[in-house]
Each structure stands twice: as structure tokens, then as C-alpha cells.
Amino acid sequence: MEITSVQNKLIKETTKLHQKKYRDQFGHFLVEGYHLYEEARTVGNVVQVFTTDHAIVGEDVIYVNEAVLQKLSDAKNPQGVVTVCQKVDAQEPSDQILLLDHIQDPGNLGTLLRSALAFGFTTIVLDNTVDVYNDKVLRSTQGAIFKLNFIHSSILEFMEKYNWILYYGTAMTGVPIQAFSTMPPFGIILGNEGAGVNEHILRKTTKNITIPMIQTESLNVGVAGSIIMYELQKKLS
């Protein structure tokens, strides 16, 4: 089977998955390129594959021409394959959790997910952040998306439900991260790029922590969160 018309109904429907509304409705999302196609295959949540490359084979593979691939792709130069994947249901939280409060920049979210996986924070709680399945987020996560457990929840409600977990907020006035240690299960809470972590949340944490700096500039939230995860993981190992 090969689709050669950008007017094809399946192509039109699939293209809608670039919009959050339809991703939520269908429970599917799109990833681009060979690397993410292979990652999706490994975890087994491939729904459908569209490709110009006949070396890719399988019952769920549909061949398309360049024009159709471009239509399906969000990239200027599509990398040969677009994969429709199934979202995975949330699991019970792991022992090291990253909680995100209103993170709005796709690049920052992508960076944090990639670092979370690198440092063993495999459960991510998302409270009003940019969509994890946004094209820009997916481009900057580099496959981490398939190895993390996502829980969409208000952070305060999550803290009430899992009240045996230790929660650490991040704030300029917190305890310096070096002078601090903990044991799992625990969660690190990062806040919005401009406003930081919500005051209501900071008041309910076990403790709030900060990263000491030479200059009183604020770090990018992706960097700050990554340094904290690195430091805590190091203390555990």
C-alpha cells in the first residue's frame, strides 16, 4: 500500500495529531525520524508507521511519497519516517519523582525530561505544563519520552494522595543543595520560568532547596532542575 495524495483521509486525520486537542481525543501522538521510530518499536507502542523508506517493514507500515511525508511532518526536512504512537497510562510513582509546576517552554520541558531519565527520576508529575507530546518537546527529549512514567495531576493533590513521600520545593531562599541529603521516596518540585514554584506548594513541602551561585543571576529552569537531580542522584549512589 502506498499513499501518494496529501488529500488522503487517513493522512488528513493523522496530521491532526500535531494539535493537542486531537492527541487528547485519540490518545495518540506523532514522533519523527528513525531514532524515535526505533525507540517506539522497542517499547511496543507503535500504532502506525508512515515512511518513504521501503527498508522499514511491518504490518503497521504504510508507504508514502515525499509530499505526503512532508504533510505529516512538523519538520522542515522530514527524516524519512513519521510514527503514530499510543500514549501509555500512568503507573504508580517510582521512588524519585520530578514534579513540574507550570513549565511553559517546550525546550525547557524537553531538557528536564532528558535529564530526569539520565539521573533516575522516572516519574514525572505534570501540573499545567506545556504538553509532553508537543512536537518541540519531543524533539528535545531524544527518546526519553518512551521511558518515563507521566502523571497528570495537581501537585497539591498528588502530595495529599502520596503523603509518605518527601517533597522538596526549589526557591531562591532554600537550603543550599550541597548541605542537604535525603532518602527515597522523594520528589523535587520545579516551578514556572518566571514565577517559580507556587507559594501554596512551597508552604507544604518537607523542605525547600536552592543552588548557590557566584553571581545572583537565576539559572535556566532546565539547568537548575538538572543540577538538583544530578546532585541528589550522586548522593544516593
Within 113-132, which residues bind a copy of itself (CB under 8 A)? 114-115, 117-120
Handedness of CA 51, 53, 56, 61 (dihedral sign): positive
Q: Does 174 bind a copy of itself (CB under 8 A)?
A: no
Number of residues this chain uses to bind a copy of itself (CB under 8 A) = 31
Q: Does 10 bind a copy of itself (CB under 8 A)?
A: no
Within 45-74, which residues bind a copy of itself (CB under 8 A)? none
Min. distance of Cβ 109 from a copy of itself in angstroms?
12
Among 49, 144, 159, 165, binds a copy of itself (CB under 8 A): 144
Which CB, 28 or 80, lies closer to a copy of itself? Answer: 80
What is the Cα 60 distance to its own chain's centre?
25
How many angstroms separate the Cα of 164 from the Cα of each of 150, 169, 190, 192, 194? 20, 16, 20, 25, 30
Min. distance of Cβ 107 from a copy of itself in angstroms?
6
Q: Are 153 and 187 in contact (CB under 8 A)?
A: no
158 phi and psi, to 5 degrees? -60, -45
Which CB, 51 or 226, lies closer to a copy of itself? Answer: 226
Kindly compute the dihedral angle of the four CA atoms of residues 108, 110, 114, 117, in this order, to the nearest 10 degrees: 100
Q: Are 123 and 201 in contact (CB under 8 A)?
A: no
- The CA distance from 107 to 105, in Å, is 5
Min. distance of Cβ 217 from a copy of itself in angstroms?
5
Residue 115: DSSP 8-state:
H
- Considering only the stretches 44-52, 136-144, 153-161, 195-203, report the one whose residues sit in contact with a copy of itself under the rule CB under 8 A: 136-144
Within 89-108, which residues bind a copy of itself (CB under 8 A)? 107
Which CB, 16 or 136, lies closer to a copy of itself? Answer: 136
Within 197-216, which residues bind a copy of itself (CB under 8 A)? 211-215
Asked, as a colleague might, if the bond just before 185 is cis with ω within 30 of 0, I would say yes
- Considering only the stretches 11-19, 57-65, 70-78, 220-228, report the one whose residues sit in contact with a copy of itself under the rule CB under 8 A: 220-228
Q: For residue 34, give the amino acid letter.
A: Y
Cell of 33: 525520524
Q: Does 136 bind a copy of itself (CB under 8 A)?
A: no
Number of neighbours of residue 217 by Cβ within 10 angstroms: 7
What is the Cα 100 distance to its own chain's centre?
10
Residues that bind a copy of itself (CB under 8 A): 107, 111, 114-115, 117-120, 140, 142-144, 147, 178, 211-215, 217-220, 222-223, 226-227, 230, 233-234, 237
